[in-house]
Structure 1
Amino acid sequence: MNGDPDEELVRRIGAGDPAAVQSLVARTLPRILALAARMLGDATEAEDVAQETFMRIWRNASRWQRGNALFDTWVHRVALNLCYDRLRRRREWVTDDLPDIVDPASLPDAPPLVEEHRVAWALQNIAPRQREAIVLVYYQEMSNIEAAVTMRISVDALESLLSRGRRSLQSILTRDGIDE
C-alpha cells in the first residue's frame, strides 16, 4: 500500500490532538452511523456503536501502524465487530414472552411503508455476512477489494456473498410485494 491518507491524522490523534479527533469524527461519523444502522436496524444502537468506535480509535491510535489495510478499513472493521457483538447479544437474550409487535402495513388505515423502509427491513432479514457485504459495497461505496479486506475474505468470497445477498433480498422483497 503506497500511503494511507489518514496516516498523519492518526499520528496526531495518537499524540492527543483533540482537533485531529474532531476532524476524523466530522469526516467519518456519517459513514459509521450509516454502517451500524444498516447492520443493526436501530438508530440508537448505531449511535452507541459509533461512539464506541471513536473511543477505540482515541485509545488505540498511538499503537496503529500502517499495514496491509488503510486506516479507514480498520475503522470499518472495528465498527462491524461492535455491530456483531450487539447482534450476538440479541440472540443470547432469551425470554418466554413474545413482544407485542404490530406490522404497520397490516393495519387497515395505515399508509403503506415506503420502499426504502421495506428494503431496510428486508436487509435485516438476510444472513449477517451477506448484509455486511451488501452494506459495505452498496451503501458504504467500498470497492470489492476494500470490502473484502475489511471482511477479511477473498474477493471471490465477497462476490459470492453479494450474489447470495442480492438473491435473498430479491426473494424477500418479491414475496412481500415490493418487486412486482
Structure 2
Amino acid sequence: MTVFKHETLDRTVRYQGPIFTVYSDKVTMSGGGTATRDVVENKGAVGVVALDDVGRVVLIKQYRHPVGERLWEVPAGLRDVHGEDMLITARRELAEETDYTAARFDLLVDLQTSPGFSNETIRMYLARDLAPVPEDERHERLDEEADLEIAWFDLDEAVAMVLRGEITNSSTVAGLLAAARARDDGWATLRPAT
C-alpha cells in the first residue's frame, strides 16, 4: 500500500497569542484534492502524578474558565519557559502547585490531546519519594491558582473518580490510569524520565 504524503500548500494566521496560534492550512488530500484545515499550534505541557509512600496521589482542584468549572487535576503546566527541559518543568509545576518535591521521576505516558485540530502534546510523569517544600520557599499562587484546593486520594479511589465521571481532565485521566496500571505491573512498564 502506498502512503500518501500530505503537503501544506498555504498557511494563513488567524490568531496569534501568548499560549497558542491558530492557522488555516490548505492541505493536499489522499483523494487528489485539497482541503482547508484549521490548526491550533500549542506550546505543549507536562503533568505529574505524584504518589506518596502509602499509594496516595495528590490532586489539585482549580477553576478552568473555558469549561466554567473547578476540576480535579494532577499538577500540570505549560512549557512556557523557552528551552526548559520537560522534566525541569514538571519539577517546577509539582512544587508550585502542591508544595512538594520528588526525588524520583519516571515517564508514564505521552499524549496528543486533540490531534484532529491541535498539535498539543502533554508528557505525564510519575513522581515518588516526595518531600514538602520548606514553608519559606513555597511559590506564591496568583490568579486561578490563588484558591486552588490540594487533596490526597488513594490511587484506586482517584481511578474510581475517573470512572464515575468526577475527574474529566484528559491528561489527569490518562495519568491516573497509566499510574495504576504501572503500579499493578510492579512499575516494570515505566520509562526513564530523561
Give me the TM-score of the superposition, normalised by structure 1: 0.24
Structure with the higher helix share, 1 or 2: 1
Higher percent of residues as strand = 2
